[in-house]
Amino acid sequence: MAYRVLIVDDSPAMRTFVRRVIAMSGFEMSNYFEASNGGEALDLLRREWVDAILTDINMPEMDGQEFLRRLAEDEVLRSIPAIVISTDATMHRIAVMTSLGARGYVTKPFLPETLRTELERTWGVPCG
């Protein structure tokens, strides 16, 4: 199966890095989509279906917390697994994002293996 992933981060460099890590992970990917904040991501999700969302928290216009809240309110989009990738490793933030429906939480800095493991867990399949 080839996967479709949406990367949401206001840093183009970080989006490139995440894409690179996923490409190295061994999963077969058919499409990468990118958005620079939660609002752009919601617009994109109205047009494209994805198998997972990887989102930052600290973003302008609509941050990751509000983005997850909007996803949870949407009967269709709430089924898409979302994994948070953030510099914020505080227990409070992890608890908040998990309560909003995040299926995984990866704190920056992270090893490529960590993200691969989260994707394997999310999709329920080993890569490669």
Q: What are the CA-CA distances from residue 96 to residues 55, 77, 86, 104 (Å)?
A: 14, 19, 13, 12
Asked if 99 is part of the footprint of other proteins (rule: CB under 8 A), the reply reads no
Query: DSSP assignment of 7-54, as one string?
Result: EE-S-HHHHHHHHHHHHHHT--EEEEEEESSHHHHHHHHTT---SEEE
Choose between 31 and 87: whose C-beta lies nearer to other proteins: 87
Least gap, CB of 76 to other proteins (angstroms): 31
| Residues numbered 30-69 forming contacts with other proteins, rule: CB under 8 A | 58, 60
User: Which span (32-40, 69-77, 81-89, 120-128) binds other proteins, by CB under 8 A?
Assistant: 81-89
Per CB under 8 A, the list member of 43, 78, 89, 99 interacting with other proteins is: 89
Distance CA 105, CA 96 (A): 11
Binding site for other proteins (CB under 8 A): 11-14, 16-17, 20, 58, 60, 86-93, 107-111
